[in-house]
Amino acid sequence: MTVTPEIDVDIRANIALPPTDLLIGGEWQPAAAGERFDVIDPVTERVIAQVARGREADVERAVAAARAAVDGGAWSKLSGVERGKLLFKLADLMERDFRPMTLVETLDIGQPLKNPAGAIAALRYYAGWADKIDGRHVSLPDANGRPTHTYVRREPIGVVAAITPWNSPLMTGAWKIAPALAAGCSVVIKPPEDAPLSTLYLGALALEAGFPAGAINIVPGFGLEAGAPLVAARGVDKVTFTGSTAVGRQIGATATAALKAVTLELGGKSPQVVFADADIDRHIPMMARQFYLNSGQVCAAGSRLLVQRSALDRVLEGVAAQLKKVRVGDPFDPRTQIGSLISRKQFERVSDYIEQGRSQAELVTGGNRIGDSGFFVEPTLFTGTNDIVIAQEEIFGPVGLAVPFDTYDEAIRLANDTPYGLASVVYTSDISTAHRAAADIKAGMVRVNGGASVPALQVPFGGMKASGVGRELSYSGIEACTVEKTVSFEL
Ligand code: NAD
């Protein structure tokens, strides 16, 4: 049942907000120009905070503080064990503040009970790595056959600039700062202008945990005003970005022209490939969840349902029935499954795609706004072909498109027929089909017969094609924040 949102005003009035200034060199500071920007609750469209609006001068101060931290500052003198302890402490403080952090992130994003569990888990995972990053020894004679003592050091890359999106800023932020800090880098993080509060909360807890000045710096602000100068800043050694492909291209170009290391986690248009031999009834709820959770504002959302023709009617009927049951409403209501889109801009974008869907495909269910305040959209399913706009472009809303196929080869061709290659799901009961598809689909992640939509920390995450460059999470995250140096002694 889809419900009209009823808004809990009391809970909103009593949420304790974090500091709203810039965190630079271990101190909260206003922006140099003294400016602030409004942070809006997407559900009520009311201003919930006014946050310092960072610009180039602020970015420069933050990068200088981060440089000092790694160039001989207190942070650079800590051992891996000590860095790990600080990361564990930060995770413990986030667990202590689990409820208030949940309220802040939920208020900021408008999605149901966005708790810090994923961020806490990432901090602990990388806290464990901090004292296990080592180099290697290579047994090697020199050109004259004399023995040498040669070893390879794995060193922190230096200052890491992290830019995050609004759909899960605390978790994506933790995926960036945790490996960087574990490796001994310092960070300057620019949280999204639409949802900066949870990152500022994390900053306050980092100070409480006792991170040395400059290890973690936060510069909230807008993309062109704070993000772009951060990417270009001379003191930055590595840029790690999660966001849209269009912005990622610009960031990648700037960073690589300056020969900085770069990791880009970008958009997606991920296929769910349903073979007729799959246990369809069992998987139908998963097929629906893949594109309505977080109102579809998930980079790895399975927004294209490619279905073998003989199973199409069953899948359309089953998924539509699931979508009709989804409770859309106030994110603070524990019964709510999905909340509001993040902003008016995103609502207009999603509505525009739904209109294009109506003209180019057949609407199966949904397609409407719910209520007239907040940005609630019904979970929506279309059926059509893979060459239309809503099959090719990322919508970032609760909108799926079902496309029929006949043969295995056609399924793979359709699965790979978008600019993106982030994630995918394959449903089949045939183990050979599953393994063949896992090899043939061009995506950073293939899940067979379901699996969590948030990737496990222990395995690499990232995209192919226009979905990104490089990998986050697992030990790959540590490698991405470190450089190797060869040292050789003549003996
Ligand atoms: P966005 O690209 O507009 O913004 C992301 C961040 O980049 C924000 O902090 C923004 O201020 C900043 N930014 C914007 N322009 C910039 C510039 N020129 N230079 C530097 N920084 C700039 O994306 P969004 O709308 O916030 O997020 C949605 C997008 O993020 C979707 O495309 C989604 O697929 C993608 N995303 C990807 C992943 C992933 O891991 N692959 C995860 C979440 C979201």
Q: What is the mean pLDDT of each run of 10 residues along the chain (491 residues)?
A: 70 95 98 98 96 98 98 98 98 98 97 96 98 96 93 98 98 98 99 98 98 98 98 98 98 98 98 98 97 96 98 98 97 96 97 98 98 94 98 98 98 98 98 98 96 88 98 98 97 90
User: 376 and 476, same structural domain?
Assistant: no
Which residue has a Cα nearest atom 42 of ligand 1? 299
Nearest-angstrom CA–CA distance, 468 and 165: 14
User: 293 and 237, same structural domain?
Assistant: no
Q: How many domains does the chain have?
A: 2
- Would you state the structure tokens that stand for residue 418, as one six-digit string? 């978008």
**Given this model, what pLDDT does residue 9 score?**
84
Q: Which CATH number does the domain housing residue 139 bear? A: 3.40.605.10
pTM: 0.97
Nearest-angstrom CA–CA distance, 109 and 145: 64
Indicate whether 4 belongs to any domain: no
User: 439 and 292, same structural domain?
Assistant: yes
Mutation choice for ligand 1 from 59, 239, 299, CB with most ligand atoms inside 8 A:
299
**Given this model, what pLDDT does residue 173 score?**
98
User: 211 and 132, same structural domain?
Assistant: yes
Task: Return the closest-CA partner of residue 111 out of 174, 171, 29.
Answer: 171
Q: Can you say how many angstroms the Cα of residue 482 is from the centroid of all Cα atoms in its chain?
A: 21
User: 85 and 29, same structural domain?
Assistant: yes
Which domain does 261 fall in, by range?
9-266+468-488
User: 219 and 347, same structural domain?
Assistant: no
User: 364 and 247, same structural domain?
Assistant: no
User: 151 and 74, same structural domain?
Assistant: yes
Which residue has a Cα nearest atom 10 of ligand 1? 223
Q: Which CATH number does the domain housing residue 301 bear? A: 3.40.309.10
**Given this model, what pLDDT does residue 5 score?**
65
User: 243 and 204, same structural domain?
Assistant: yes
Nearest-angstrom CA–CA distance, 396 and 194: 15
Bridge partners (DSSP) listed for residue 238: 160, 261
**Given this model, what pLDDT does residue 4 score?**
58
| Single-letter code of the amino acid located at 125 | Y
Compute the CA torsion angle 326, 327, 329, 330 (nearest 10 deg): -120
Indicate whether 80 belongs to any domain: yes
User: 298 and 235, same structural domain?
Assistant: no
Task: Return the closest-CA partner of residue 340 out of 115, 165, 110.
Answer: 110
- Would you state the structure tokens that stand for residue 35, as one six-digit string? 């400016």
User: 452 and 475, same structural domain?
Assistant: no
Q: Is the CB of 193 under 6 A from ligand 1?
A: yes
**Given this model, what pLDDT does residue 1 score?**
46
Question: Ligand 1 centroid to 222 CA: how many Å?
Answer: 11
Question: Ligand 1 centroid to 418 CA: how many Å?
Answer: 19
**Given this model, what pLDDT does residue 8 score?**
84
